[in-house]
Amino acid sequence: MEFELSDEERAFQQAVRKFGDKTLRANERRIDAEGRIPREVLDEMAALGLLAMPVPTEYGGMGGSAVLTELAAEEIGRGDFSMATAVFFLLEAGWGWSLAKHGTEEAKREILPPVCQGKTFLGIATTEPTGGSDLARMRTKSKRDGTGFSVRGEKAFLSGVEEARTMGGGHLTLTKSSDSDGFNFLYVPTSAPGNSTQKFTNMGRMGISTGAITYADTHVDRKYLLGEEGHGFEYALEGFTVARTFVSAACVGAAERALEVGLAYIKERPAFGQPLAKFEGIQFEAVDLYAQIEAVKWQCRRAAWLLDRYTLRGDDSHRSEVIKAVASVKLTAPPIAFETVKRVMMWFGAAGYTKDVGLELGLRGVMSYLVGAEGGLNIMRIIIGRELLGKEFAPY
């Protein structure tokens, strides 16, 4: 067993931390206020190889391992506390990887290089207005129409609808097949005739939009079908397993940053004649948070290590172990991150409630992962429960 990062991994981690400390921290308020990630930030990410980094080099990515991508996600979650950049990063990483694995050669050559350059956006569309957890009951349908598929339905709460509309790009879209009992996973360009979009007003991660897409018999060329017809559900679940690892890593980064801010503050802030850090009531809280963040960080790195060892190699032999590891960290990382930011806000007293201190930025951002982005907490519990107890004990 080896817990030490390799020289290459450490150097990469330091380079991304430098980017986070210099570029992301300097821009996070602007990202929140302007509701977009500035062009120069995306350009710098592209230059560092951070966009869709697990995508193979032949399609413009850096062919990065899951561990390397996990390290980058931690640093980006630390750097832009609003989580907007982390979301942009992990969507491109997780779903870029999925497209690279299952997409047709033509689609990969067309879609992936500009995504890796930050010129276009690639997202995921599974959730519908009637629900995101119970995906099997989705209503959006795709039907063969000669040269491809005709898609009809509506997806909602999708990250990056505005980005895909304005920059170009689209979403990997899970649809029920009208021609079989299965599902088709299709790349749908947002600008395709038949699509209309809507933007929602969120409470946080303002730098990346959330919105809806309505498909009114949108024609999708057959080249945009991922893998085999009817097997889309499997590909989407596999993609979630990869993307959720990076979500968790971003939460680890945000938690570490909040704790660092808090530790510095309680060492300085006096109360009753001594620094707050001297009071066990505060110090023990800080220690508990540290211990929990460390636990989640290593849980997350192990999940990434398992992905590298099995999933990213197309080896399904440890499927249950991988699924449990990833769902477990997606279950623990967002609550720990949220709790850390909340506790540190409380150490700051009234100042913690101001925008000047900036903790609210993290609180609003991390909250998106508590309410459900990339799957709600109870859904992680259902996934783990099914693996632990067997399918016969699944609640549905």
Residues near ligand FAD, by CB under 6 A: 123-127, 131-133, 157-159, 210, 368, 371-373, 375-376, 378-379, 382, 395
The torsion region of residue 277 among left (phi > 0), alpha (psi -120 to 50) and beta comes to alpha
d(CA 170, CA 236): 15
Least separation, in Å, of the C-beta of 157 and ligand FAD?
4
User: In this complex, which beta carbon is closest to ligand FAD, that of residue 175 or of residue 340?
Assistant: 175
Indicate the helix (H) or strand (E) that contains 157. Answer: strand 148-159
Cβ distance 163 to 121 under 8 Å? yes
User: In this complex, which beta carbon is closest to ligand FAD, that of residue 226 or of residue 289?
Assistant: 226
User: In this complex, which beta carbon is closest to ligand FAD, that of residue 83 or of residue 261?
Assistant: 83
User: In this complex, which beta carbon is closest to ligand FAD, that of residue 135 or of residue 289?
Assistant: 135
Q: Which tokens go with 274?
A: 């001594």
Least separation, in Å, of the C-beta of 83 and ligand FAD?
9
Among 154, 184, 191, smallest CA distance to 170 is for 191
Cβ distance 16 to 9 under 8 Å? no
Least separation, in Å, of the C-beta of 372 and ligand FAD?
3
**What is the chain's percent helix, strand, coil content, to nearest 5?**
60, 15, 25
Sole residue written with tokens 């959720």? 244
Cβ distance 129 to 154 under 8 Å? yes
d(CA 179, CA 63): 36
Least separation, in Å, of the C-beta of 132 and ligand FAD?
2
Q: If DSSP codes are grouped into helix, strand and coil, which group holds residue 352? A: helix
Least separation, in Å, of the C-beta of 22 and ligand FAD?
27
Least separation, in Å, of the C-beta of 220 and ligand FAD?
17
Q: Which tokens go with 328?
A: 């477990």
Least separation, in Å, of the C-beta of 163 and ligand FAD?
11
d(CA 4, CA 166): 42
Indicate the helix (H) or strand (E) that contains 219. Answer: strand 210-221
User: In this complex, which beta carbon is closest to ligand FAD, that of residue 129 or of residue 349?
Assistant: 129
Sole residue written with tokens 């697990």? 54
Cβ distance 227 to 104 under 8 Å? no
User: In this complex, which beta carbon is closest to ligand FAD, that of residue 127 or of residue 175?
Assistant: 127
Least separation, in Å, of the C-beta of 306 and ligand FAD?
23
Distances (CA, A) of 224 to 62, 172, 233, 234, 289: 23, 9, 16, 17, 45
d(CA 289, CA 267): 16
User: In this complex, which beta carbon is closest to ligand FAD, that of residue 23 or of residue 140?
Assistant: 140
Q: Which tokens go with 196?
A: 């209309």
Least separation, in Å, of the C-beta of 304 and ligand FAD?
21
User: In this complex, which beta carbon is closest to ligand FAD, that of residue 351 or of residue 371?
Assistant: 371
User: In this complex, which beta carbon is closest to ligand FAD, that of residue 67 or of residue 336?
Assistant: 336
